[in-house]
Amino acid sequence: MIIEYLPLLMFAVLLVLLALGVPIAFSLFTTALGFAYFAWGASGGSILVSAVWGVMNNFVLIAIPLFIFMSLLLEKSTIIADLFDSMYKWSGGLRGGLAVATVVVGAVIGAISGVVAAGVIGLALIALPQMLRYGYNQRISLGAVMAGGTLGQVIPPSLNMVVYGAITGVSVASLFAGGANAGLMLLAVFSGYILIRAFINKDLAPALAKEDRASWSEKWKSTRSVLLPILLIIIVIGSILTGTATPTEGAAIGVVGTVLISLGARKLPWQGFVDSLWGTGRMTGMVGLILAGAASFSAVFSGIGGNRFVSNLVESLPGGQWGVLIFSVLFVFLLGMFLETLALIMLAAPILTPLIANAGFDPLWWGIIFMVVLQTGFLTPPFGFAIFYLKSAVGRKVAIADIYKATPAFIGLQVLVIVLLIVVPGLATWLPDLLL
C-alpha cells in the first residue's frame, strides 16, 4: 500500500519543502535523492546522474543562455523605453490607450527576448508610472503590466517552449508558430477588455489631455527609433519559422542583432555589456539547476511508478478523451499555482503529453494549450511569479495585496482564450500547418 501511493507522497514532500521556503532547485534535488535512496538504496543515485546528464546533453537548450543574454542587453539599453515611448505617443489620445500600449509593448518585449521577467519588470519601471501619473485606475494598470509582461511565455521565442519541445519531441518551430497565434489572441482579448472598460467608465483610464498629446512629427520621430528592433524580431522569428535557422541559431542571430542595434544607437555602455554577461551566467546557472533538479525528480517519480499511477488515475476518470483533457488542463493549472514554470514543464510534460496523444489529440495543439495554461500560472496566487516580479520592481510603492487584486480579471480572460483554443483547435494550429 505504501509503495502504491509513494508518488503522491513524493509530491507532498516537494510541496512541503516549497512551503518552508527551500529554493525550488534544492527542493527538487532533495526530494528526488531521498526517494531514490528509499526505493533503491545507494544505487539510486545513478538515476539522478543520468537525468542530469540528459539535460546537459540537450543541444536545443543552448538557446536558453542566448535568449537570456539578449533580454539583459535590452534591459541595459533604452530599447524597451523607446518602444513604450513610441506606443505612448501614438495611443495617448485614446481612452485606455496607455494600458493597451503597455500590453502591446509587453508582446514586443516577449517577441524580442522570450523572458517573462524582462517583460514584467521593464513595464513596471517604464509604463506603470506613466499610467498612474495620468490618472489610470491602479488595478487595470497593474493588470496590464502583468498580462502584457507574461505574453513572452507564448509569443516566440519563448524559453519555456524551447524546454517543452526539447522534453516532448514536439517541433520547437511549430510551437513558436502556434504560440504566435495564441499570443495574438491574448493580445487582442486583453486590449479589447481594456478598451471596453475604458469606454464604459471614462474615469477608469482617461485619454491624455490635448496639451499632453504628441504632435505628428513627434509620433513619426519616435517610430523611427523602433524600426530596427522590429526588424530584429522579424529576422529572429522569421528565420526560425521558415526553417532557415534552428531555435539556437535564431537566438544567436538575436544576440548579435541586439548588440549591433544597441552599439549603433550608442545606447549600450561597456559596463552594461559586462553586467549583461554576468547576469546571463547567474540566470543560466539558476535555470540549469532548476532543469537538472526537475529532471532528477521526474526520473525518480517515473521510476517509482508515478507515470503509471497518473495514467491509471486518468483512465479511471469518466468522459473518455475529454475527461483526459480536462484533467490535464486542471493538473497544469493547479501545479502552476505552486511551481516555477520550467520545473512544471519538466515534471508535467513527460507525463501528460503521452496521455493526450493516446487519447487521440494533436500533441502540437496540446503543447500550445499547455503554454497558455502555464502562462496563467504567472498570475495565479499564491506563487504567481509575475506578481513577485512586479512587486520587486515597485517596492513599497504598491502593496502586494493590491497586486493580487489586479489579477482575477486577466486570469478570467486567459481562461476564455484557453476555452476558445479547445473548442476551435484550428486557432492554435493553422499557422504551423501553413508554414511547416
Query: Residue 124: what pLDDT?
Result: 84
| pLDDT, the chain, mean | 82
Burial of 170 (0-12, 13-18, 19+ CB in 10 A): buried
pLDDT of residue 409: 92
Domain ranges of the chain: 48-435
Q: Is 296 helix (H, G, I), strand (E, B) or coil?
A: helix
Closest CA to 104 of 205, 7, 223, 188: 188
Average pLDDT over residues 269-274: 79
Q: Which of 311, 352, 319 is nearest to 334 (CA)?
A: 352
What is the spatial distance between Cα 83 and Cα 108, in angstroms, rounded to a whole number?
8
Distance between CA 79 and CA 133 in Å, rounded? 22
The residue with greater pLDDT, 144 or 261, is 144
pLDDT score, position 418: 94
* pLDDT above 90 for 268: no
* pLDDT tens readout for residues 66-110: 877 877 777 677 676 777 777 777 777 788 888 898 898 888 877
Q: What is the mean pLDDT of residues 211-238?
A: 75
Residue 264, pLDDT above cutoff 50: yes
Confidence of residue 265 (pLDDT cuts 50, 70, 90): low
Asked whether the bond before 382 is cis by omega within 30 degrees of 0, the reply is yes
pLDDT of residue 436: 60
| Residues 14, 340 contacting (CB under 8 angstroms) | no
**Got the DSSP string for 327-365?**
HHHHHHHHHHTTS-HHHHHHHHHHHHHHHHHHTT--HHH
Question: For residues 434 and 425, what is the distance between their CA atoms, to the nearest angstrom?
Answer: 14
Highest mean pLDDT among 120-124, 144-148, 162-166, 201-205: 144-148
Q: DSSP labels for 207-253?
A: PPPGGGSPPHHHHHHHHHTTHHHHHHHHHHHHHHHTTSS-HHHHHHH
C-alpha cell at 262: 544597441
pLDDT tens track for 166-210: 888 888 888 988 988 899 999 999 999 999 999 898 888 887 777
**pLDDT classification of 412: cutoffs 50, 70, 90:** very high
CB 370 within 8 A of CB 347: no
Q: How many CB atoms lie within 10 A of CB 240?
A: 25
Select from 299, 308, 312, 283 the least CA-distant residue to 115: 283
pLDDT at 46: 85
Report the pLDDT averaged over residues 419-435: 88
Question: Does the pLDDT of residue 5 top 80, yes or no?
Answer: no
Give 306-362 pLDDT, tens digit per residue: 777 777 777 777 777 888 898 889 988 888 877 778 778 888 888 888 889 888 899
How far is residue 42's CA from residue 356's CA, in Å, rounded to a whole number?
35
Average pLDDT estimate for 210-220: 74
- What span, in angstroms and rounded, lies between the C-alpha atoms of 215 and 228? 22
- pLDDT 10s digits, 44-53: 888 888 888 8
Amino acid at residue number 280: T
- What is the per-residue pLDDT for 3? 61
Work out the angle at residue 153's Cα, subtended by the Cα atoms of residues 152 and 158, and round it to the nearest 5 degrees. Answer: 80
pLDDT for residue 410:
92
Q: What is the structure's pLDDT at 1?
A: 47
Classify the phi-psi angles of 373: left when phi > 0, otherwise alpha if psi is within -120 to 50, otherwise beta: alpha
Say which residue, 408 or 92, is predicted with more confidence.
Answer: 408
Q: Looking at the predicted structure, is the pLDDT value of residue 435 above 80?
A: no
